[in-house]
């Protein structure tokens, strides 16, 4: 995608440098000694200089050593002053309409756009534009003298013309005014940067890879946010998918989720022997809320279980299901073996990706392996304590349903992920959703055989039970989805707040 406003973002990056230099000047001007020095100098200005036939030289360099330092600090560094002056000209001559269009494009709220625009170019208020306009004639006039100060290695022996001295004198006279102007100017600019970077949004061209019940999984094509230096924080990385998590408002919770996200993967790989793609975790702060993305190396979407299962014939679909069962076996045996760590898993077919040994798209070979991808809800318990704060995921649910859901389903839903039989029920029942009902009887048979080899006490599954469960599960999630839509309506129309969650399209059942 071409960035039509590249010139404006470059302009802003340049202004950042300009304002950095302005702040540097102010810091110097605000030193108490400088202020004092300057007032003394103003009072004794003409007694400082000796008029000779060549021009003015400082009377007694030794006595006035500190005055010289002050003069140097204020009037030296010609290069920096030139940049400041360039920056000011750029502000004054910038295409204001385009600037406004740029704001409109990146700031969602129209009042916020006007507010930001007015900081720069407002006509009814003091703006950066008016302040900078005042600075320009001074800068123009004094730039030559700044140059002289830089050139003079030894100011004590430097000769100033009558014109230079008059210039210096007049700067000193209006010094307080210049200082005030600069302070206001930089404060305005700071306000602009803070608010603009906070409000900045960029259209992210998204390719939605899948809707889970919890997250929307997307691949970003372009876009991002900006930091205070106007540098874009790019989310663009073609090899990664990003799972947008429910918004979180506490840094502690973000850190906890981050650790759980990494640790869960480690446990699956190291302790259980289940393959998981490489992962990374990113978050951005906006309006006090953290937007969290769980990143994962992208695997061929064509090979994600639910996509794959639609293409496979019965024999191969069953082979796939048996591969899932053998992954679950590893997991089950681990939980049985290790009493301090208990791991939860979501066995749905859409959470497994086939890595075909020979690249085949339509059959499941004996050397093919599975990857598990649904790690963004890292459920595991250490000494019986759930490591993930499940309340975070309740934030995905509208406030008016939260307590009902907490009371009715939360514990039940969580516990299911730790129980082999429930995980398998869920996996099979999802075949209804994937429109492969025809596979269900064979899967039940395979599962029952599998249970008998694992643990005699596990009750065999029946078709009736699976069908009943599907109705129940579907109901719960349909309620969730519906509730989120109602919440979107209430939040957008009534509270006029921007909806913070990305809503999945209607999930077909
Ligand atoms: N690493 C990945 N590579 C390719 N597609 C992925 C990847 N991770 C997730 N997806 C797609 O997104 C869907 C949902 O992702 P998942 O991690 O299972 O989230 P949820 O918790 O919302 O179910 C998957 O079924 C798959 O289609
Ligand atoms: Mg999933």
Give pLDDT tens digits for 309-329.
999 999 999 999 999 999 999
Average confidence score pLDDT of the chain: 81
Residues 277 and 330 in one domain: yes
pLDDT tens per residue across span 69-117: 777 677 677 788 889 999 999 999 999 888 988 888 788 777 888 999 9
First to last CA, the chain: 36
C-alpha of residue 244 to centroid of ligand 2, in Å: 13
pLDDT of residue 153 exceeding 60:
yes
For residue 68, the enclosing domain spans 6-199
Confirm whether 230 is domain-assigned. no
Residues 191 and 55 in one domain: yes
Confirm whether 222 is domain-assigned. no
pLDDT tens per residue across span 322-359: 999 999 999 999 999 988 999 999 999 999 999 999 88
Question: 239: closest CA among 279, 198, 196?
Answer: 279
pLDDT level of residue 11 (50, 70, 90 thresholds) = very high
Percent of the chain with pLDDT over 90: 40
Residues 480 and 418 in one domain: yes
The pLDDT value recorded for residue 127 is: 94
Q: Identify the helix (H) or strand (E) that includes residue 217.
A: strand 216-222
The pLDDT value recorded for residue 133 is: 92
- The atom number, within ligand 1, closest to the CA of 305 reads 25
When pLDDT is averaged across residues 12-22 and rounded to a whole number, the result is 92
Residues 88 and 149 in one domain: yes
Question: 303: closest CA among 253, 257, 349?
Answer: 349
Please identify, among 169, 199, 229, the residue that sits at the C-terminal boundary of a domain.
199
C-alpha of residue 413 to centroid of ligand 2, in Å: 14
pLDDT of residue 461 exceeding 50:
yes
Confirm whether 507 is domain-assigned. no
Confirm whether 396 is domain-assigned. yes
List, as own/partner pairs, every contact residues 467-471 make where C-beta atoms lie below 8 angstroms and the sequence separation is at least 24, other chains included: 467/429, 467/432, 469/425, 469/426, 469/429, 470/429, 470/430, 470/432, 470/433
Q: How far apart are CA 323 and CA 98, in angstroms?
A: 58
pLDDT of residue 399 exceeding 70:
no
Closest ligand relative to 294 C-alpha: 1
C-alpha of residue 241 to centroid of ligand 2, in Å: 13
Confirm whether 274 is domain-assigned. yes
The pLDDT value recorded for residue 34 is: 75
Residues 290 and 388 in one domain: yes
Query: Atom 1 of ligand 1 has which residue's CA nearest to it?
Result: 298
Total domain count for the chain? Answer: 2
Question: 9: closest CA among 82, 99, 80, 127?
Answer: 99
pLDDT of residue 278 exceeding 90:
yes
Residue 471 near residue 478 (C-beta atoms within 8 A) = no
Residues 429 and 488 in one domain: yes
Q: What residue ranges line ligand 1, CB within 6 angstroms?
A: 209-210, 212-215, 217, 241, 243, 277, 296-299, 301, 304, 350-351, 373-374, 376-377
Q: How far apart are CA 499 and CA 288, in angstroms?
A: 15
Residues 339 and 396 in one domain: yes
- Phi/psi of residue 35, each to 5°? -60, -45
Residues 192 and 248 in one domain: no
Pairing mode, if any, of strands 385-386 and 380-382?
antiparallel
Confirm whether 453 is domain-assigned. yes
Question: 347: closest CA among 410, 426, 415?
Answer: 426
Q: How far apart are CA 115 and CA 327, in angstroms?
A: 57
Please identify, among 199, 223, 250, the residue that sits at the C-terminal boundary of a domain.
199
The pLDDT value recorded for residue 183 is: 94
Residues 180 and 244 in one domain: no
304, 352, 392, 430: residue to mutate for ligand 1 pocket, most atoms within 8 A of CB: 304
């Amino acid at each position: 995608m071409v960035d039509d406003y590249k010139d404006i973002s470059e302009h802003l990056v340049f202004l950042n440098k300009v304002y950095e230099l302005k702040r540097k000047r102010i810091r110097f001007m605000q030193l108490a000694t400088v202020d004092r020095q300057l007032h003394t100098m103003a009072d004794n200005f003409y007694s400082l200089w000796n008029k000779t036939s060549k021009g003015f030289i400082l009377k007694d360099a030794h006595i006035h050593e500190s005055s010289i330092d002050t003069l140097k600090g204020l009037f030296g560094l010609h290069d920096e002053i030139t940049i400041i002056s360039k920056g000011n000209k750029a502000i004054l001559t910038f295409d204001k309409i385009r600037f406004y269009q740029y704001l409109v494009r990146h700031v969602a709220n129209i009042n916020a756009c006007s507010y930001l625009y007015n900081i720069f170019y407002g006509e009814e208020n003091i703006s950066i534009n008016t302040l900078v306009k005042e600075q320009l004639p001074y800068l123009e006039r004094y730039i030559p003298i700044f140059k002289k100060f830089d050139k003079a290695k030894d100011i004590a022996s430097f000769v100033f013309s009558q014109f230079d001295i008059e210039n210096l004198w007049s700067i000193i006279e209006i010094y307080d005014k210049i200082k005030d102007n600069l302070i206001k100017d930089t404060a305005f600019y700071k306000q602009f940067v803070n608010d603009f970077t906070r409000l900045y949004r960029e259209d992210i061209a998204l390719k939605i890879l899948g809707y889970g019940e919890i997250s929307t999984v997307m691949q970003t094509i372009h876009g991002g946010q900006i930091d205070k230096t106007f540098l874009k924080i790019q989310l663009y990385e073609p090899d990664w998918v990003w799972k947008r998590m429910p918004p979180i408002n506490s840094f502690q919770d973000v850190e906890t989720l981050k650790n759980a996200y990494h640790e869960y993967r480690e446990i699956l790989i190291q302790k259980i022997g289940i393959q998981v793609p490489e992962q990374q975790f990113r978050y951005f702060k906006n309006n006090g809320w953290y937007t969290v993305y769980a990143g994962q190396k992208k695997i061929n979407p064509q090979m994600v279980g639910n996509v794959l299962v639609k293409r496979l014939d019965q024999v191969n679909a069953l082979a796939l299901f048996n591969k899932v069962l053998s992954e679950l076996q590893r997991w089950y045996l681990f939980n049985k073996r290790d009493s301090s760590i208990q791991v939860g898993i979501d066995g749905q077919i859409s959470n497994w990706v086939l890595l075909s040994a020979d690249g085949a798209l339509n059959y499941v070979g004996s050397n093919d392996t599975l990857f598990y991808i649904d790690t963004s809800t890292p459920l595991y318990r250490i000494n019986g304590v759930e490591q993930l704060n499940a309340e975070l995921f309740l934030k995905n649910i509208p406030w008016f349903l939260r307590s009902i859901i907490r009371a009715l389903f939360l514990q039940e839903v969580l516990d299911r992920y730790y129980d082999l039989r429930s995980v398998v029920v869920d996996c099979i029942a999802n075949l209804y959703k994937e429109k492969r009902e025809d596979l269900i009887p064979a899967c039940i048979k395979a599962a029952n055989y599998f249970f008998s080899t694992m643990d005699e006490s596990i009750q065999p599954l029946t078709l009736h039970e699976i069908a009943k469960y599907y109705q129940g599960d579907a109901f719960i999630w349909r309620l969730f989805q519906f509730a989120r839509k109602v919440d979107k309506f209430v939040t957008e129309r009534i509270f006029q707040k921007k909806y913070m969650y990305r809503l999945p399209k209607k999930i077909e059942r």
